[in-house]
Amino acid sequence: MPTAIIVPTLQEVDNIVPLVEQIEQTKVPFGEIIFVDDGSTDGTREKIRALTTVHRVRLIERAGAEGGLAGAIIAGANASSADLFVAMDADLSHPPEKIPALIHPIGSRYVPGGATPGWPAWRRFLSRVASALAYPLTGVHDSMGGFFAIRRECLLRFANQAAGFKIVFETIVRGRKTLRVREVPIVFRDRARGMSKMSFAQAIRFALAWLRAIGRRITEGKTSAPPLPAQRLFRD
C-alpha cells in the first residue's frame, strides 16, 4: 500500500539530513517524504530542495502557518496520492526506527515500554495532565503525541477541522465511533538541535479543543457520521 511520510517543518535546518538518513535506514517501503514548511528562514527549505534530486523527498512551501502543525499535515496529505500516511516531527524526537511498528497503530509514550527521557518535570507533568484529560474522550493513553500512522480517508475525513499541535486528539475524538486505535510504545527523545515550538498558546489551544470536544459529547446522538467501509491494510 503506497505510504507517504509527512514532516511539518519550521526552522529545522540542522535536523533535515539526519532525519532523512534515519528514515531511509528503516527500510520502510515508503513512496516519499513530504516536508511541509511554514516559512522557515534558517535555510530549511534550501536544505530540503538540495535533497530532492537524490532522495524520495518533496517540499511543500506554505506562505503562512494556517492551522499550525495540523494544517501542515493536512496540506501534505492533500498533495499526496498515498493511501497511508505517517506523520512525525522534524526534530528527531520521534524515533524513525519505530515507523515499521507504527504503520497502522499510533505511537504512545505512556504504555509499557514507552518513555520520555530527559524531559523536565514540569513538561512531563503537563503532558500527563493533558493525556489524562483526553483519555475519557479518546480511550487512548497518549493522544497528545504527533507520531502516528493513519489511512488517508480517515485523516482527511476526521482531521480537516483540526488546528494546532493536537491533531491526534481531535482526529480520535471526531472519529471515535469509527476509528480503531492501537498504541505501541515509543521513546520520545528531547530535541538536540533547534528550539521547541511548544508554548503556553499551544496549551490554551488544547484546552479550547478539549472544551469543544466535551460540548460535542454532551450534545451528541442527534447526528452521526456513517461508518467507513471495513478495509484491510496489508495483504497476506
* Helix 167-175 and helix 200-219, axial crossing angle in degrees, nearest 10: 0
| Residues in the chain, pLDDT under 50 | 222-223, 225, 228, 230-236
- For residue 230, what pLDDT is reported? 45
- Round to whole Å and give the CA distance between 146 and 53: 28
Handedness of CA 19, 21, 25, 28 (dihedral sign): positive
Rg (CA), the chain: 17
Q: How many CB atoms lie within 10 A of CB 207?
A: 12
In b/e form, how buried is each residue of 43-52, taking b as 16+ CB within 10 angstroms? ebbebbeebe
- For residue 2, what pLDDT is reported? 83
Residue found by looking up cell 511541509 in the block: 36
Tens-digit pLDDT profile for residues 34-61: 999 999 999 999 999 999 999 999 999 9
- For residue 232, what pLDDT is reported? 43
Locate 123 and state its grid cell: 513538561
Give the alpha-carbon dihedral of 203, 209, 210, 211, to 10 degrees: 110
Q: Enumerate residues 6+ apart whose C-beta is below 8 A from 85.
A: 3, 4, 5, 6, 73, 76, 77, 149, 150, 151, 152, 155
- For residue 197, what pLDDT is reported? 52
- Round to whole Å and give the CA distance between 200 and 55: 37
